[in-house]
Structure 1
Amino acid sequence: MKSIRKFTVRAVVPERLAALEKLAANLRWAWHEPTRRLFEHIDPEAWARSEHDPVTFLGEVEPARLEQLAADDEFVARAEREHAELDAYLTEPRWYQRLEEERPELVAYFSPEYGIAAALPQYSGGLGILAGDHLKAASDLGVPLVAVGLFYRTGYFSQSLSPDGWQQERYPALDPDGLPLSVLRRPDGSAVQISLALPDGGTLTARVWRAAVGRVTLLLLDTDVPANGDEWRGVTDRLYGGGSEHRLLQELLLGIGGVRALRAWAELAGAPEPEVFHMNEGHAGFLGLERISAAIGEGLTFPEALQLVRGGTVFTTHTPVPAGIDRFDRALVERYVTSELLPGVAPADALALGVEPGADPETSAFNMAVMGLRLAQHANGVSELHGRVSRRMFAALWPGFDPEEVPITSVTNGVHAPSWTDPALIALAERTLGTDDSEHADWQTPALGDAELWAVKREMRARLVEEARRRLVAGWEEQHPGGQAPEWMSRALDPDVLTVGFARRVPTYKRLTLMLQDPERFAAILTNPVRPVQFVIAGKAHPADDEGKRLIQRLVQFAARPELRERIVFLPDYDIGMAELLYPGCDVWLNTPLRPLEACGTSGMKAAMNAALNLSILDGWWAEYAADDFGWVIPSADSAGDEGERDEREAASLYELLEHRIVPAFYDRPDPAESAGFFERDADGVPGEWLRMLRATLARLVPELGADRMVREYVERLYRPAAERRRALVADGARGARELAAWSARVRDAWPEVRVLHVESGGLDQPAVGDELHVRAELALGGLDDADVAVELVSGRSRPDDSLAEPRTTRLARLGDGEYGGTVTLDRAGAFGYTVRVVPSNPLLAGPAELGLVALAEG
């Protein structure tokens, strides 16, 4: 018999243990090991069953046990110490508060998903995990940040497999009352509700859930409220679900509704207006339109409001391919983006922001990333390589400029070490290195012996093996109710065998099955009788991605071969809980994307933090951090004739690395024929070269991979400049925004008449290194003033196609009306080229390319 309704009844905790409820209410427990140990002490078995969720856990603990602990003065004191430590963490100055220069009072961070803890499944993959790590690191650093997202009643989906290996999806409903969330309420107790005007007089209403992520407040909008009919209650039913209109409604709610929820929260909390708005991908792009609407309501025109909004906005792109961008039919967007939804904003002005460069404005798809870039003066990719890819991908927004000058920088992603480092490794650092900061510990000191580090690594591997066996049995029993799981499942994997991990979303470009290009060669690697290798694999395909599902099915069917099933396993339902065991339990982390389609790929970072070595295509973060001490590079077959040949060649390189470098290093002998023994290492059974690489990874690579480094970069390179620009624009009744809008309009109107009329050079008879090139240019400015423009000499090594490599820009000085001149020194031999250009110049611009206007000298 099934219930017709479900809800969560919260536990009644004895008053003396009130500290436990306060600790459970703040998601800092998700990364604070002492707090987790405190809860585990209460009832280790119940703690494991709750999947380390204190809210659920406290509801499962026997009341008698709580009463017993309430009478235990030592435990009560311990709980109160942890609560006092949390209070100190939430209130004491941290890195951000010690910054001497001006800094933003508040940063608003918008993302469609957040991966913070297994107990709050509001993520699908890397984008959400990155967002969660961003909030945690911001909290640790003291960055005043408030985050906004949506609450999905069924999250992403739970994955299982059919007997033939086909992915199946389930959408179990979440009860927010049983999660570490509270409703945002006014002083009178009424719930805050946000409304969006819909076509034909309808209204979409959302309540606001609030979560405490350390010092950061996270606001999540939820449309499952009585004020909505069934059609609208389901807007936030699931992450990335439904058709195009469903997605558009989610993104309207995230952007427009999110800003309105933020205002309501700020009023209740007495918080200042955010000076910086950070869009984590284009899904939140409509937040700019809501802010423009508010500025128009305060007396600005659309162009003035656009300048004001742009100055304080940061846009982060995570996709390296146009197909990864949300694009909506123009007519669909036009139906929803009305003056009723956005008072003061003419629909035509809003729609123009999403028009793709060079497309017909009346028929172009509405591109969310293009809108995000037009609404943000500050933009970045998520690795150095991805920054270069993004500059090329979006170059058409800045016509006339080389991709190197496109105003998109990069901040390489990082991962939150306290969240992702295994407790056993943290305990080892505490015990032998005197610190719980494993991210910055001295792992190369002789104070820590190789045998001790290797023993901890084996312990982590053994826990993964145990969990994998448990999941195999559970999956079999789900498919065969009442049956007895096969005996081989209790032998699957081995805690003493080289273990390779591969886990991520399963779009085709990540190439889940590259390892199966030569299945018999791969099988031989797995089943080598002297030096075997085992693979643990996980990942979810999008519910609508049948090709991704076929990749999973192919892998599952390969792994089902009787001679292989104990050496390669696919674990369904990859999530944070599985990842916390998978990263530590692996010796090598495999990543095989089609270069350069991996924007960053932070799973390998998490593995490195757990003393694993990386084996990866030179893509994403690995392209800038790869070194011999940290793992192995799979060479990219860029010269391959087609995709099939490329896969074959890169798979062959993968096999070669496994057979001839990785396996011998792990088992510490060059050739299996040299000994009949299973392991031949040092006297302690430790592979010395492997341990040297582990230590180098932990000591030198890991400190570069932390989310604290990433957030510091965002603060210094993006948040501070954005706040400074916004202050200049908003001061004195938004005088800066008004003047910049008027100036930009005047420059755009005059630009067709701006020309470089003549260029002449001299001073060189037989050019040699050290000589000076003198250049003079005559210009027509089309009615603009000299102060409106910068005249630049652009020079560099000349390529065969006459383009300039590594161009250097020298500003020319005004010599008279329409005349400019300057000098450049020839600093290296070889082919040399130069040109002269004119670009707009204004102190409130972020750079010369911002307006996308340039006048070039003609040859």
Structure 2
Amino acid sequence: MKVYEFNVKTKLPDKLRPLEQIAHNLWYSWNWEARELFRMINMELWEQCEHNPVWVLSKLTDKDFRRLVGDPVFMNVMDNVHERLNEYKMLPKWFDLAHGGKREEGMQIAYFSAEYGIHESVKLYSGGLGVLSGDHCKSASDIGIPFIAVGLLYRNGYFHQYLNSDGWQQQSIPYNDFHRMPVTPVKDANGNEIYVQVRIAESDVNVKVWKLEIGVITLYLLDTDLTTNIPQHRSITAQLYGGDSDMRLKQEIILGIAGVRALKAMGFRPTVYHLNEGHPSFAALERIRLCVEEGMNLRTAAEVVKKSTLFTTHTPVPAGFDVFSFDQIKKYLGPIFEPSGFNINQIMGFGRENPFNESESFAMAIAGIRLSTFRNGVSALHGEVSRQMFKNLWSNALDNYVPIGHVTNGVHLPTFIAESFKMIYTRYLSEAWYYKPYDFDVWNDVEKIPDNAFFDAKRKQRERLVIFARERLKKQVMKRGGTASEIAKADDVLNSDTLTIGFARRFATYKRGYLLFMDEERLAKILNNPERPVQIIIAGKAHPKDDGGKEIIKKIFHICRKPEFRDKIVFVEDYDIEVARHLAHGVDIWLNTPLRPMEASGTSGMKIAANGGLNLSILDGWWAEGYNGETGWAIGAGEEYDKQDYQDFVESMELYDKLENEIIPLFYNRDKVGIPREWTHMMKQAVKVCAAFFNTSRMVMEYTDKYYVQLHELYKDISFNGFEGASKYLEWKENVISGWDSVEIAESGVQADSIEMGGYVTFEAKIRSPKIDNESLAVYAVVEFDGESGVLKNPKFIALELAEKNGDISTYKAHFRIDNAGKMKVGFAAVPFHKYLKNIFELNLVMWAK
């Protein structure tokens, strides 16, 4: 039977047109008044439509329109919200105040990510990476940087989770109806929809370009589910992280290669490319191909791309990166690149640790690293881990100077702070917390908030969380076919005045969701203390192929059903942004138990801290920076054990000890008016310390100052006069590499009458360099105090200045004041110098004094 399908658009009356603009801008996801506006239309419909404003509007009838137009309260709220949106767009923002001239110079940042978690109504994310990308976009809008984002428009969202009667995770796949989403097709100047094409294997794939507005920035989304494509190509954007390795490779071709082509088709000419994780690394290869097609040689093209690219890694272990075989690259990338003169070995070289090792596969992370000037991890600890992981790419660099930095992640505060806390912050901190969350001085005024007001706000949020958890539990029991008595019992679980612990994350085994349950008898005593009770709310999904993670969930499910835990522990199914918000708002303690250093950053605990919650966590990821003794509690002191069973035992016992002896007594130690003063002090410290730093406004500003502006200026310089700068740099680089073996530190030493604190020494080095001129060299005294003898681990590099030149020998000197006592170790090093080199070890060339 043939079925005709048509999409009937909602046609709003002119007076209600502002609703359409509000619904199609994800600004509503962090604006409470905007979401309340759509709740006012019909609360039941709002829930039915999964908090999706576009879907709500599509359900309205002419009768509804007449009702709304005739409601002066609604119309007034709508006008106010619409005005707020327009004011937000026009408001002067940080970037133009700090870097006013860059926009006029054509600065444009293109950000690529495989997933975006912006709001629960837009299912284009699976977890933390996606939420981080979404928060990055929101803060890019808030601070006004010239920013566009690129991703994939998945026909099916990441799976919904539910548990069967045995507690085993089941999955259902949500369908994304694009006409119910705030996305619109991108059109050219003539009103025609924009498509690009990519050849995959033996046939072409057509890709449609959509857009999603997020405040003042735009996210462009790529879609292959088109009738003009063959079925296997339509399925490329079917599901996030779906399918096998070949499907992952195809998705990443569309993200990277079609993404670059889409930007070009729309007329964008970014000066900075930010590759978020390895998934979009093919974007760099496509940019090289385009440069080659325009007449550039391959080596110059690779340098041009490198000098305008930032690569961010979120993964702490090599196994977490996508890796593809020679045959896969030949099959899928060969037809794209070979017509431009590339051979497969050249392509493979970009993705190998050793470009000439034919047994190596192509690693997306290695490609991203090789084709970028700046690379970063997502916390200070993760930066260290990443430098260790990739140090073989810079075998001559000191470990702490491997060219990988870090920018610690944050969260978008307006999205994740509860409305009750927003009102308190606005009252005592002014709206500066909203407009300048990166200003530490603003957050110092948290101390002005009365303890009773602050603690009461948390109590109210805990009460809302309990109500939410009960409602979700009822639905879960009903879905599993539970009895009427089981459904009724859901109203008796949890208590709004009880200390509440939250644990929610992806149930990968390294996150150790089982740690809290290793001694059930001890845990039961803790939870069921009649004078000082404790309750736990748990949420999280296991990857569909991770049976180990599913087993942990199943174990917790059965523990929840035991009589001693039934009213005290609730597992909330289908963890998503909505569940995360409720937990962030209401829990008192956020528990995090990863196996250090397996968590690159983590951001869930940051959301809790911004809502006055306290963290109880392994010193991993961001918490290694956020913990100061007053913001929460640490489990362990950063130890890493050889035997995991022993580590699990030690850390689980410490977890119970901290709860019994410190956390629970502190929460229930109340004064005469019922306020736990010491606990409230720690709540304020968590906000003052963590919210002030661990927010995405600070994070994106750091990316801008540290990387984006530098890359823009670098690209502007190398591209001047037909990329003359790039050609000259490549000529310089080849000369330095060919002549480096001739560099020698002939003499070096430390001169001083006496070496003591407060005194001065002179560092001197004589460099023989017959083939490389002085302008191309930097000479350093490498100084470190204390530490292991004969080893330089984290030294300072003191630049020496050219003092004398005599033939091939150049003398470099520097005077240095000794500010420390103890063992002073000094080495001498010569490295290449060029204004385009952003790290002294970038070229992996260094000559040490012997």
TM-score computed with the length of structure 1 as normaliser? 0.93
Whole-angstrom distance in 2 between the partners of 1:808 and 1:92: 43
1:337 is paired with a residue whose SS is helix
Contact 1:353 1:371 in 2 (8 A): yes
The reply on whether 1:98 has 2:97 as its aligned counterpart is: yes
- Flag the 1:554–1:753 CA change in 2: closer, same or farther, 3 A: farther
Match of 2:805 among 806, 810, 815: 815
1:135-150 → structure 2 map (5 Å cutoff): 135-150=137-152
**Which whole-Å CA distance do the structure 1 matches of 2:84 and 2:750 have between them?**
71
Counterpart of 1:655 in structure 2 is: 656
Contact 1:791 1:820 in 2 (8 A): no
**Residue of structure 1 equivalent to 2:284:** 288
* CA deviation after TM superposition for structure 1 residue 199, in Å: 2.4
Q: Contact (CA 8 Å) 2:287, 2:305: kept in 1 or not?
A: yes
- Partner secondary structure for residue 664 of structure 2: helix
Look up the equivalent residue of 2:785 and give its one-letter code: R
- Judge conservation of contact 1:477–1:484 (CA < 8 Å) in 2: no
Counterpart of 2:626?
Answer: 625
Amino acid at match of 2:238: D
Question: Which of 126-135 and 738-747 deviates more?
Answer: 738-747
RMSD: 2.5
The residue number in structure 1 matching 2:344 is 347
Correspondence for 1:646:
647
What does residue 581 of structure 2 align with?
A: 580
Number of residue pairs aligned between Structure 1 and Structure 2: 837
1:284 alignment partner, SS class: coil
- 1:369 and 2:369 aligned: no
**Which residue in 1 is equivalent to 2:407?**
411
Whether the 8 Å CA contact 2:765–2:813 is kept in 1: the answer is: no
Partner secondary structure for residue 403 of structure 2:
coil
For 2:186, the aligned partner's letter is L
Give the structure 2 partner of residue 275 of structure 1.
Answer: 271
Q: Are the aligned partners of 1:772 and 1:823 in contact in 2 as well (CA < 8 Å)?
A: no
SS across alignment from 2:279: helix
Contact 1:106 1:274 in 2 (8 A): yes
C-alpha separation in 1, matches of 2:2 and 2:543:
30
Aligned to 1:737: 726
Over 3 Å counting, the alpha-carbon distance change for 1:110 and 1:364 in structure 2 is same
Closer, same or farther in 2 for the Cα pair 1:6/1:549, shift >3 Å?
Answer: farther
In structure 2, give the amino acid aligned to 1:149.
G
Matched, 1:715 2:716: no
- Worse-superposed segment, 399-408 or 723-732: 399-408
Could you tell me how far 1:484 is from its partner in structure 2? Answer: 6.0
Q: What does residue 724 of structure 1 align with? A: 713
User: What's 1:603 paired with?
Assistant: 604
Counterparts in 2 of 1:233-272, with a 5 A limit? Answer: 233-265=234-266, 267=267, 272=268
Q: How far did 1:699 drift?
A: 3.5
Amino acid paired to 2:823: A
- 1:395 paired residue number: 391
What is the CA–CA distance in structure 2 between the aligned matches of 1:662 and 1:456, rounded to whole Å? 20
**CA shift for structure 1 position 505:** 1.2
Where does residue 564 of structure 2 map in the other structure?
Answer: 563
1:835 to 819, 827, 839: 827
Deviation, structure 1 residue 216? 0.8
Alpha-carbon contact 1:280-1:315 (below 8 Å) kept: yes
CA distance in 2, matches of 1:710, 1:632: 24
**Cα distance in 2 between the residues matched to 1:206 and 1:620:** 37
Alignment match, 1:199: 201
- Mapped to 1, the partners of 2:341 and 2:4 lie a distance apart of 43
Partner of 1:468: 469
What do the CA deviations read for 1:732-753 (whole angstroms, capped 9, x no partner)? 1100111111221222222344
Residue 317 of structure 1 and its aligned partner are, at CA, apart by 1.0
Task: State how 1:320-335 maps to structure 2 within 5 Å.
Answer: 320-335=316-331
In structure 2, give the amino acid aligned to 1:185. K
Change (3 A) 1:498 1:3: farther
AA matched with 1:139: S
Q: Which residue pairs with 2:376 in the alignment?
A: 380
1:496 aligns with 497
> d(CA) in 2 for partners of 1:321 and 1:628?
29
For 1:303-314, list aligned pairs within 5 A.
Answer: 303-314=299-310
Query: TM-score, normalized by length of structure 2?
Result: 0.94
Trace 1:27-46 onto structure 2 (pairs within 5 A): 27-46=26-45
- In structure 2, the partner of 1:674 is none
Between the aligned residues of both structures, percent identity stands at 38
In the aligned structure 2, how far is the partner of 1:431 from the partner of 1:765? 62
Counterparts of 2:830 and 2:461, CA distance in 1: 61
For 1:761 and 1:481, the matched residues in 2 are separated by 81
- Residues 61-82 of structure 1 show CA distances to partners (whole Å, capped at 9, x for unaligned) of 4542331221234533432332
Instruction: Select the residue among 190, 193, 196 that pairs with 2:192.
Output: 190
Contiguous gaps of at least 5 residues in structure 2: none
Moved more, 179-188 or 709-718: 179-188
Match of 1:175 among 143, 158, 177: 177
Structure 2 residue identity aligned to 1:509: Y
Q: Is the 8 A contact 2:272 2:712 kept in 1?
A: yes
Decide whether aligned partners of structure 1 residues 366 and 19 sit closer, same or farther in structure 2, where only a CA change above 3 A counts: same
Separation in 2 of the partners of 1:639 and 1:454?
36
Hey, what's the Cα distance between the residues in 1 that align with 2:748 and 2:544? 62
User: 1:677 aligns to what?
Assistant: none
Match of 1:524 in 2: 525
Q: CA deviation at 1:445?
A: 6.5
Q: 1:298 aligns with which of 294, 301, 326?
A: 294
User: How far has the Cα of 1:649 moved from its partner?
Assistant: 0.8
CA positional deviation for 1:111 = 0.5
Verify the 8 A CA contact 2:446 2:684 in the aligned structure 1: no
1:84 aligns to what? 83
SS at 2:242's partner residue? coil
Residues 210-249 of structure 1: per-residue CA shift (max 9 Å, x gap): 1001111111111111121111111111111211111111
Residue 11 to residue 443, structure 1, CA distance change in 2 (3 Å): farther
- Distance (whole Å) between structure 1 residues aligned to residue 666 and residue 157 of structure 2: 42
- Match 1:121 to one of 120, 123, 127: 123
Residues 675-690 of structure 1 mapped to structure 2, 5 A cutoff? 681-690=670-679
